[in-house]
Amino acid sequence: MTDHGTDHRTGGAGGVGLLVRLLRRMPEEQVKALWLAEIEGASAEEISRRLGTGPDVTVLLLHRAREGVRQAYLREQPGAPLGPACAPHWARLPAYARGAASVRATQALDAHLAGCADCRERARALARAGRRIPVTAALLELSSAEDGAGLRPLGGRGTGTGVVLGPLRFGTRAAPARPPG
């Protein structure tokens, strides 16, 4: 079985640095919407007003931004299929792990996974990585970078620490860590 390289303490291989690179590739309007939602805690109505988009467009924009980051993040996780028969399935595993694969792709992957332990482990690793993506820390890091000027008017300068204090769930605001037990 291959080592799928996912470090769950930092949200996966590459953690914050990987997410910063992915955010830099996204459309600016999506990054701004994510900043407003994730960092400033703005409602969809507030984001709509600040971006000058309609409410339905804003909800769609946020959905596409969040799902786009999740899918891109999972595609960037390290590893390689053991054999050529697995290669076409690996390209579909990120969407499958997120529950976003088409019915046809899901059926094909289910059939393949039934007989392939390596791909089953890859799907599990991607599902774990997809549950804990440190996007808040990546947005703060991006905003503090010299070329993160597009975010400054919306949110000011971030802390720039790039440190994940605990696993941050994408799509929710960070909550204080609870003591064990």
Amino acid letter, residue 80? A
Nearest 10 degrees: Cα torsion 142, 143, 144, 149: 110
- What is the number of other CB atoms lying within 10 angstroms of the CB of residue 64? 14
Structure tokens at 107: 């059926």
SS3 at position 96? helix
Alpha helices in 26-174 (DSSP H): 28-34, 44-51, 55-75, 87-90, 93-97, 103-115, 117-131, 135-144, 152-155
Answer whether residue 181 shows pLDDT above 50.
Answer: no
Q: What is the pLDDT of residues 64-102, one digit of tens each?
A: 998 888 888 888 888 889 889 899 898 899 989 888 889
pTM: 0.63
Amino acid letter, residue 108? A
